[in-house]
Amino acid sequence: MALTAKTVDLSVDLGFLTLKNPVLAASGTFGYGLEFEPYLDLEKLGGFVVKGLYYGPREGNPPPRLVETPSGLINAIGLQGIGVEAFAAKVLPKLRRLRTAVIVNVCGADDDEYAAVVDFLDRQEGIAAYELNISCPNVKTEGLCPALSPRTTFDLVKRIKAASRRPIITKLSPNVTSIVEIAQAAEEAGTDAVALVNTFLAMALDLETRRPKLGNVFGGLSGPAIKPIALRMVYQVASRLKVPVIGMGGIMTGADALEFLVAGAAAVEVGTASFVDPDAAVRIVSEMERWCEAHGVAAVREIVGTVKTA
Amino acid sequence: MALTAKTVDLSVDLGFLTLKNPVLAASGTFGYGLEFEPYLDLEKLGGFVVKGLYYGPREGNPPPRLVETPSGLINAIGLQGIGVEAFAAKVLPKLRRLRTAVIVNVCGADDDEYAAVVDFLDRQEGIAAYELNISCPNVKTEGLCPALSPRTTFDLVKRIKAASRRPIITKLSPNVTSIVEIAQAAEEAGTDAVALVNTFLAMALDLETRRPKLGNVFGGLSGPAIKPIALRMVYQVASRLKVPVIGMGGIMTGADALEFLVAGAAAVEVGTASFVDPDAAVRIVSEMERWCEAHGVAAVREIVGTVKTA
Amino acid sequence: MTIERNARLRAVRSWGDYFHFSVEAPAVGRGARPGQFVMVKVDDCTSPLLRRPLGIHDADAGGIELFFKVAGAGTGILSRKKPGDRLDIIGPLGKGFTVGDGLKGKKAYLVGGGRGIAPLFFLGRALAAAGARPAVFYGGRTAADIPLCDKFEQAGFELHCSTDDGSFGFSGFVTALVENEIIRAKPAIVYACGPDPMMKVLASITAKHAVPAEFSLESIMGCGIGACWGCVHRIKDGTGDGWVKICEEGPVFPGERILWL
Amino acid sequence: MTIERNARLRAVRSWGDYFHFSVEAPAVGRGARPGQFVMVKVDDCTSPLLRRPLGIHDADAGGIELFFKVAGAGTGILSRKKPGDRLDIIGPLGKGFTVGDGLKGKKAYLVGGGRGIAPLFFLGRALAAAGARPAVFYGGRTAADIPLCDKFEQAGFELHCSTDDGSFGFSGFVTALVENEIIRAKPAIVYACGPDPMMKVLASITAKHAVPAEFSLESIMGCGIGACWGCVHRIKDGTGDGWVKICEEGPVFPGERILWL
Ligand SMILES: Cc1cc2nc3c(=O)[nH]c(=O)nc-3n(C[C@H](O)[C@H](O)[C@H](O)COP(=O)(O)OP(=O)(O)OC[C@H]3O[C@@H](n4cnc5c(N)ncnc54)[C@H](O)[C@@H]3O)c2cc1C
Ligand SMILES: Cc1cc2nc3c(=O)[nH]c(=O)nc-3n(C[C@H](O)[C@H](O)[C@H](O)COP(=O)(O)OP(=O)(O)OC[C@H]3O[C@@H](n4cnc5c(N)ncnc54)[C@H](O)[C@@H]3O)c2cc1C
Ligand SMILES: Cc1cc2nc3c(=O)[nH]c(=O)nc-3n(C[C@H](O)[C@H](O)[C@H](O)COP(=O)(O)O)c2cc1C
Ligand SMILES: Cc1cc2nc3c(=O)[nH]c(=O)nc-3n(C[C@H](O)[C@H](O)[C@H](O)COP(=O)(O)O)c2cc1C
Ligand code: FES
Ligand code: FES
């Protein structure tokens, strides 16, 4: 069968946002986007989520900040970043010109700071949505963050959603007993979508020195190692929520991404893979396209949530 | 320096039980022990934990029961087993002769069944302790098990501890928001030790068929992939509990095992590694011994809980 | 049941995706019986993590032969090994085919589909040595999937080849070819190894013609030594049926005990 | 900054744990400046997961050379590559050493400890081309740790070797040897690459003698392209100091800007 170049419709509609394809580059693994321009065409992405932003610039954690583990990576960057003002002044003008969805990952030391970040960004143009990072394990003691409890999730999401002029994607933590419960709290509070998972609270020790391998002692585990747990969580959440789910955790290939869609994710984010291959996210888009072609899938959205269990 | 053969004291004292070395083979990955006799000397182990036992024989889950993931293994065996009566009649007489600690992993569909298993085994000789498996993710819907809540953990441990004539090791699930809270509940209920971690609730999909790769849909992830999370949990729990902690999760080498000791584990269990190398547990003992020799550590227990963070 | 950590790969032959390894492993080779298998560590890396089960294609006091098809990452890594490289193998494992004394002078049909041919060379040799008259049925999708035809012929076996696409030998499924032969000349026993669908059809054929049969089953294996309960298949025993470990009680089972799902 | 997925390994030389690779990679080689590095994928396996940073040992329009020591799993896998194998590399990355016009006719000291010698060959060649007079100080724990002495000599460099155990050249730390020479003949600049403790001592020596210096720093790297904030070091800038990304703003920094922790 002769296939014409563009037989597959890759677009996905999140309700509040239409993406040209389901692949977003994940926050913290894609810098502010521009770092990747030498390696890929940013406009070939469904979109990208910039590094988490606090209101002001942030120092981050003392190094070492990274340690590799079998098929995984623990990071304890601690959200070093330039803050919203520098972002709006220096980065956003360049991002605004791109024909792709730019999503900002919003952080805060407390609820007021989240609100302040959103308030400031609401006055800027060129942002498609906010990803509310209530789940970074690297900033407080032993991974404490709002996403660990339905109550704090609900309160924060409710407040930010009410204040924001843009759609809110709530990014959930996997370090919980019931991810469904937290996702439901975010949905009740009015989130427009949920994104999961952030990293797993982890640690590594140097046997010779008996010291933690990370300056921050604890860090967050990402990469292929976590994929089976992340996929399980996406499957559990997607079947119970009305709002769309953005899935991530260890996606390295188009097949991985498609599995998350089958499990129920409307879109995916690609994180650690961009370190291994700076052009991974775009490669994944084309692998998905080729798979759909080969399997006679006319529109990728058809496969979302199609797990057969009977 | 000429080293004499036995310079290192590998023994560890759990309070209720002294082990000749800190390495136990983990439940479900070491059969009933006898399967490994062709490959290692069972008496060289600190001990081993036999496959989880319900009162009666159990069918287990439909296959496929295993799927490999990057640096990990998901299993959904579903605790197939022979039940306590067959165990006592056919297996225990052979195990009783071994000079090593035989620990029985105790399961139950409800609290009464746990109690019945312990009651039956209490009347048998040759068991060093019970490991209360309140954390198997493979038997109820979506991984439900007593170890997910402090309340159910407390109630079950309290009841079994009161009834049992033998020490109780409570085996915890990592699929919780606060492993410390659950461990403390077990301690308050009188457990003699805690063992962590059991497997992480996970899943895998076959993209071509869109079916779960496991007959049971969900399964438990083990192996090197989970080690950084398991080590973090052991570190968190060990610094807060008075009872000893038995650590496990992805231990493949003597160095891995020693890291768990440094993090605070009084002993370790070796699981998936025994599939890759049936003699892994004994190799790990000798690797630990050699490391201690090379580092002038006279007794391995000296390194327990010696993480330096300042 | 030996762990042979340093088995030297003596020689490699390959035909597309199919590979033949000759491995120096005296302790494994000496103990091996047809239908048994080994567990091979493909790499030191933790991904793939587990050993891979491979049937014993042939064995003698010096070692064993393996024959495999590249199916994924593990067999892919294995296929890139070079003569002189070291393999870490455990075996022989499982219970093999039954080569009974009663077969003397009788016909035995050996049916292999694709990579399922692997254990049948060793079995054929054992049958011949026991005085039976083995005939081998070797089927594949296309001519490229039955690379061992020459080897079986050179070893003097009666050989019937088939390909699904008719590119070599009988055109159609090997099961049809076997049924034709069973009708022409009923054998004392049928042995088979191959994909489940092939064996399922063959099981009904042998049942219909009342020929005893033994099938070598496959499953993903965690340990290969009966310790994980990962490799079960539905098998009848005296009282009923249950999930039975292929690695320990099999991989070969009598046809009438296997429940095909 | 190119991704070269199919760079052919042309030749391998080795001395114990040290390896020299010649790699065909025109796009990388053409753009390279001394002190820059590449990120190398060692395997398709997910463990190790990340690329490994390696300095550019030499470069021309046809490709680059690498010189590395086996330090762990990643470099171990790399060391087993054979000529003809393909490497997947990204580069050139980072900002290199400053080779200013002002150095014409002036002395420059290049100090390499162990594997830290790697980027200094390319730097030495560039300095010589710019009319400077480079002298190389090459230190190691023992004679086995300074395998490139011959190469530097054959290339016509002024070479001073040292070993901590005195098995070859000056007996003692390379920093002591450099300080002796600074006292004898003060250079216009000192460049260094090596273990942190060595560079820290050298930083105080160059400060004491008021010699400008540039140091190439190391860190575990996540991405190598400035996207992960994983590779930071404490660096002074105009107003204060902060965690600065080595991969993007370095790996080479002027001595006076580096805060040694
Ligand atoms: C007792 C026994 C003997 C065997 N003997 C041989 C032999 O002699 N020659 C030979 O080529 N192969 C043989 N196999 C099959 C062989 O073990 C698998 O092809 C191999 O393990 C696949 O590993 P991989 O990493 O290459 O592929 P993977 O990436 O692990 O798998 C590729 C695909 O095959 C499926 N698969 C993997 N393992 C099995 C399995 N054991 N059974 C069925 N499907 C599987 C996976 O689900 C996946 O879809 C045997 C299997 C068993 C159980
Ligand atoms: C810009 C740059 C250029 C480099 N150039 C060279 C070079 O030309 N030749 C060369 O031999 N090496 C060089 N290195 C060091 C090299 O990258 C590491 O030795 C290598 O990544 C180790 O990988 P591994 O998997 O072999 O060891 P691993 O198992 O990852 O690590 C072994 C040990 O080294 C430590 N380690 C790992 N990476 C680093 C690092 N980047 N810095 C400090 N300690 C580390 C680990 O914590 C561990 O203790 C360079 C590093 C950087 C940052
Ligand atoms: C180095 C690093 C930095 C990260 N920074 C952020 C961040 O700023 N905000 C955020 O929400 N998630 C952050 N994450 C989490 C990722 O966005 C993603 O949720 C996680 O890595 C799992 O996906 P992966 O396995 O594909 O990497 C970071 C991850 C890594 C590895
Ligand atoms: C195939 C398999 C079966 C298991 N069965 C049991 C069991 O019966 N009881 C139990 O408490 N844990 C069981 N476990 C969990 C292990 O004992 C161990 O907690 C877990 O695998 C983590 O350790 P590892 O990474 O070293 O394997 C099983 C694990 C595997 C892989
Ligand atoms: S493979 Fe483990 S019991 Fe068969
Ligand atoms: S290595 Fe990622 S920012 Fe430097």
Residue after which a domain boundary falls, among C55, C76, C93:
C93
Q: Are residues C117 and C34 in the same domain?
A: no
| CATH number for the domain harbouring residue D25 | 2.40.30.10
Model pLDDT, residue C44: 85
Q: What is the mean pLDDT of chain B?
A: 95
Q: How far apart are CA C71 and CA C74, in angstroms?
A: 8
Q: Are residues D73 and D7 in the same domain?
A: yes
| CATH number for the domain harbouring residue C130 | 3.40.50.80
CB neighbour class for B84 (10 Å; exposed up to 12, middle 13-18, buried from 19)? buried
Residue after which a domain boundary falls, among D60, D93, D126:
D93
Residues in D closer than 8 angstroms to B68, CB to CB, are none
Q: How far apart are CA D120 and CA D191, in angstroms?
A: 8
Determine, yes or no, domain membership for B109.
Answer: yes
pLDDT band at A6 (very low <50, low <70, confident <90, very high): low
Name the DSSP letter for residue D84. Answer: T
Q: Name residue A110's amino acid.
A: D
- Ligand 4 atom at minimum distance from B133 CA: 11
Q: How far apart are CA B191 and CA B181, in angstroms?
A: 14
Cβ atoms within 10 Å of D19's Cβ, excluding its own = 21
Determine, yes or no, domain membership for A310.
Answer: no
Which subunits sit against A, judged by 3+ Cβ pairs under 8 A? B, C, D
Q: How far apart are CA D203 and CA D196, in angstroms?
A: 10
Determine, yes or no, domain membership for B310.
Answer: no
Residues in C closer than 8 angstroms to A256, CB to CB, are none
Determine, yes or no, domain membership for C225.
Answer: no
pLDDT band at A5 (very low <50, low <70, confident <90, very high): low
The token duo for D217 is 């720093």
Determine, yes or no, domain membership for C250.
Answer: no
Predicted confidence (pLDDT) per residue in B250-286, tens digit: 999 999 999 999 999 999 999 999 999 999 999 999 9
Q: Are residues C73 and C126 in the same domain?
A: no
Name the DSSP letter for residue B1. Answer: -
Q: How far is the CA of C115 from the centre of ligand 5 (A)?
A: 21
Torsion angle, alpha carbons of D178, D180, D183, D187, to 10: -20
Q: Are residues C155 and C187 in the same domain?
A: yes
Determine, yes or no, domain membership for A98.
Answer: yes
pLDDT at A137 over 80: no
Question: Does the Cβ of D218 fall within 6 Å of ligand 2?
Answer: yes
- Among the ranges given (A216-225, B106-115, C231-240), the one the predictor scored with the smallest mean pLDDT: C231-240
- In which residue are the tokens 């050493």 written? D97
pLDDT band at B5 (very low <50, low <70, confident <90, very high): low
Determine, yes or no, domain membership for C258.
Answer: no
CB B203 within 8 A of CB B221: no
Mean pLDDT (10-residue bins), chain D, 261 residues = 93 96 96 97 92 97 97 95 95 95 92 96 96 95 94 94 93 93 94 95 94 96 96 88 93 94 79
> Among all residues of chain A, which has the CA nearest to that of C49?
A70
Predicted confidence (pLDDT) per residue in B10-64, tens digit: 999 999 999 999 999 999 999 999 999 999 999 999 999 999 999 999 999 999 9
- Ligand 6 atom at minimum distance from D53 CA: 1
Model pLDDT, residue A64: 96
Q: Which of A66, A223, A252 sits opposite D220 (nearest CB)?
A: A66
> Among all residues of chain B, which has the CA nearest to that of C74?
B68
C154 touches chain A (CB under 8 A): no
Model pLDDT, residue D38: 98
Element (H, E) at B154: helix B150-163
Question: Does the Cβ of D42 fall within 6 Å of ligand 2?
Answer: no
Mutate to test the pocket of ligand 1, among B65, B68, B74 (most ligand atoms within 8 A of CB): B68
Please tell me whether residue D192 adopts helix, strand or coil conformation.
strand
Residues, chain B: 310
Q: Are residues C109 and C35 in the same domain?
A: no
Q: Are residues C88 and C105 in the same domain?
A: no
| CATH number for the domain harbouring residue B117 | 3.20.20.70
Q: Are residues C107 and C64 in the same domain?
A: no
Residues in B closer than 8 angstroms to C47, CB to CB, are 70-71
- Report CA torsion sign: A298, A303, A304, A305: positive
CB B120 within 8 A of CB B126: no
pLDDT at C239 over 80: no
Q: How far apart are CA B171 and CA C249, in angstroms?
A: 31
pLDDT at C100 over 90: no
Element (H, E) at D161: strand D158-163
Determine, yes or no, domain membership for D70.
Answer: yes
CB B70 within 8 A of CB D43: no
Determine, yes or no, domain membership for D245.
Answer: no
pLDDT band at C117 (very low <50, low <70, confident <90, very high): very high
> Among all residues of chain B, which has the CA nearest to that of D46?
B70
Three-class HEC string of chain A: CCCCCCCCECCEECCCCEECCCEEECCCCCCCCHHHCCCCCHHHCCEEEEEEECCCCECCCCCCCEEEECCEEEECCCCCECHHHHHHHHHHHHHHCCCCEEEEEECCCCHHHHHHHHHHHHCCCCCCEEEEECCCCCCCHHHCCHHHCHHHHHHHHHHHHHHCCCCEEEECCCCCCCHHHHHHHHHHCCCCEEEECCCEEEECEECCCCEECCCCCEEEEECHHHHHHHHHHHHHHHCCCCCCEEECCCCCCHHHHHHHHHHCCCEEEECCHHHHCCCHHHHHHHHHHHHHHHCCCCEHHHHCCCCCCC
Q: How far is the CA of C192 from the centre of ligand 1 (A)?
A: 17
CB C90 within 8 A of CB C31: no
Model pLDDT, residue D72: 94
Model pLDDT, residue B201: 96
Q: How far is the CA of C73 from the centre of ligand 4 (A)?
A: 25
Q: Which of D46, D227, D228 sits opposite A71 (nearest CB)?
A: D46
CB A77 within 8 A of CB A62: no
CA C24 to chain centre: 20
Q: Are residues D109 and D89 in the same domain?
A: no
The token duo for B113 is 């069944």
Determine, yes or no, domain membership for B50.
Answer: yes
Predicted confidence (pLDDT) per residue in A246-278, tens digit: 999 999 999 999 999 999 999 999 999 999 999
Please tell me whether residue B38 adopts helix, strand or coil conformation.
coil
φ, ψ at A174 (rounded to 5°) = -85, -5
CB D69 within 8 A of CB D21: no
Q: Which of A35, A65, A276 sits opposite D230 (nearest CB)?
A: A65
CB A300 within 8 A of CB A280: no
Residues, chain A: 310
Q: Name residue B57's amino acid.
A: P
CB neighbour class for C98 (10 Å; exposed up to 12, middle 13-18, buried from 19)? middle
- Report CA torsion sign: C67, C70, C73, C76: positive
Q: Are residues D106 and D57 in the same domain?
A: no
Determine, yes or no, domain membership for D246.
Answer: no
Q: Which of A135, A210, A207 is nearest to A174 (CA)?
A: A135
Q: Which ligand is nearest to the CA of C52?
A: 1
B150 touches chain D (CB under 8 A): no
The token duo for C47 is 């991904």
Question: Does the Cβ of B58 fall within 6 Å of ligand 4?
Answer: no
ipTM, interface predicted TM-score of the complex: 0.96
Residues in B closer than 8 angstroms to D47, CB to CB, are 70-71, 224
Q: Are residues D120 and D194 in the same domain?
A: yes
Determine, yes or no, domain membership for D248.
Answer: no
pLDDT at B4 over 60: no
Q: How far apart are CA A27 and CA A103, in angstroms?
A: 9
Mean pLDDT for the stretch of residues A103-126 = 95
Question: Does the Cβ of B173 fall within 6 Å of ligand 4?
Answer: no
Predicted confidence (pLDDT) per residue in A49-73, tens digit: 999 999 999 999 999 999 999 999 9
DSSP E strand stretches across B116-237: 129-133, 168-171, 193-196, 200-203, 205-206, 211-212, 218-222
Determine, yes or no, domain membership for B309.
Answer: no
The token duo for C206 is 């042998």
Predicted confidence (pLDDT) per residue in B184-242, tens digit: 999 999 999 999 999 999 999 999 999 999 999 999 999 999 999 999 999 999 999 99
Determine, yes or no, domain membership for B277.
Answer: yes
Residues, chain C: 261
Q: How far apart are CA C125 and CA C144, in angstroms?
A: 24
Determine, yes or no, domain membership for D234.
Answer: no
Query: How far lies B87's CA from each of B57, B113, B122, B253, C242, in Å?
Result: 10, 16, 13, 31, 18
Q: How far apart are CA D65 and CA D32, in angstroms?
A: 11
Mean pLDDT for the stretch of residues A296-305 = 96
Model pLDDT, residue C153: 93
Q: How far is the CA of C244 from the centre of ligand 5 (A)?
A: 10
Q: Which of D9, D36, D135 is nearest to D90 (CA)?
A: D36
Q: Which ligand is nearest to the CA of B29?
A: 4
Number of structural domains, chain D? 2
pLDDT band at B1 (very low <50, low <70, confident <90, very high): very low
The token duo for D87 is 């490497």
The token duo for D213 is 């210096």
Q: How far apart are CA B168 and CA B237, in angstroms?
A: 17
The pTM assigned to this predicted structure is 0.96
Query: How far lies A307's CA from each of A243, A262, A286, B161, C16, in Å?
Result: 18, 6, 23, 43, 35
Model pLDDT, residue A1: 45
CB D19 within 8 A of CB D70: yes
Q: How far is the CA of D54 from the centre of ligand 2 (A)?
A: 8
pLDDT at B2 over 70: no
Residues in D closer than 8 angstroms to B71, CB to CB, are 46-47
Please tell me whether residue C8 adopts helix, strand or coil conformation.
strand
Q: Which of C133, C113, C130, C10 is nearest to C69 (CA)?
A: C113
Number of structural domains, chain A? 1
Determine, yes or no, domain membership for B254.
Answer: yes
* Helix residue ranges per DSSP H, C90-173: 120-129, 149-154
Q: Are residues D14 and D57 in the same domain?
A: yes
Tell if the CB–CB gap between D43 and C47 is shorter than 8 Å.
no
Question: Does the Cβ of C223 fall within 6 Å of ligand 5?
Answer: yes
Q: Are residues C136 and C208 in the same domain?
A: yes
Q: Which domain holds residue B105?
A: 5-303
Q: Which domain holds residue C119?
A: 101-216
How many A/C residue pairs have CB atoms within 8 Å?
Answer: 5
Residue after which a domain boundary falls, among D65, D93, D121:
D93
